[in-house]
């Protein structure tokens, strides 16, 4: 892992917090305007591989894991998957290939579970 000075580290973290905060504001506005934060579900009427992730994480925070699994059975893989795809600067260049492989495996599991859910329930899991 690359060594950052305190100043560099704080700048990187501030950028991530800013981008995350902007995304949350955007999702909030989108949900108020359209009734859903998932544009795939809102505009096409089909669930995407990440549909239910927010509700699943909120249920897990309440320690209601059965409800969390109902909303999205792989909710616990979403955050690490996004972390490995987005935070490349936190890893040394020699670990870049490993980071991409791990992100690919996690994303592959999420997509595989999505395909199984589509085969069982159709494109609208929550209907």
**Residues contacting residue 15 through CB under 8 Å, at least 6 positions apart:** none
- As to burial, measured by CB atoms within 10 angstroms (0-12 exposed, 13-18 middle, 19+ buried), residue 38 is buried
Q: Is the per-residue pLDDT at 1 higher than 60?
A: no
Task: Please give the Cα distance from 16 to 81 (Å, whole number).
Answer: 16
Q: Is the per-residue pLDDT at 10 higher than 70?
A: yes
What's residue 92's pLDDT? 67
What's residue 127's pLDDT? 61
Q: Is the per-residue pLDDT at 108 higher than 70?
A: yes
**pLDDT tens sequence across 22-79:** 776 776 776 677 666 677 777 777 777 777 787 888 888 899 989 888 888 888 887 7
The 3-state DSSP composition of the chain as helix, strand, coil percent (nearest 5) reads 75, 0, 25
Q: Would you say 90 and 3 are in contact if contact means Cβ atoms under 8 Å apart? A: no
- Report residue 97's pLDDT band, with 50, 70 and 90 as the boundaries: confident
What's residue 46's pLDDT? 78
């Amino acid at each position: 892992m690359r060594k950052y000075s305190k100043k560099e580290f704080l700048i990187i973290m501030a950028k991530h917090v800013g981008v995350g905060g902007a995304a949350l504001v955007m999702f909030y506005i989108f949900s108020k305007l359209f009734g859903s934060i998932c544009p795939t579900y809102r505009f096409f009427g089909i669930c995407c591989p990440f549909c239910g992730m927010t509700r699943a994480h909120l249920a897990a925070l309440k320690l209601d894991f059965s409800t969390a699994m109902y909303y999205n059975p792989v909710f616990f893989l979403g955050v690490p998957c996004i972390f490995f795809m987005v935070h490349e600067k936190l890893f040394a260049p020699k670990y870049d290939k490993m980071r991409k492989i791990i992100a690919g495996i996690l994303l592959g599991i999420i997509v595989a579970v999505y395909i199984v859910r589509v085969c069982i329930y159709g494109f609208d899991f929550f209907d």
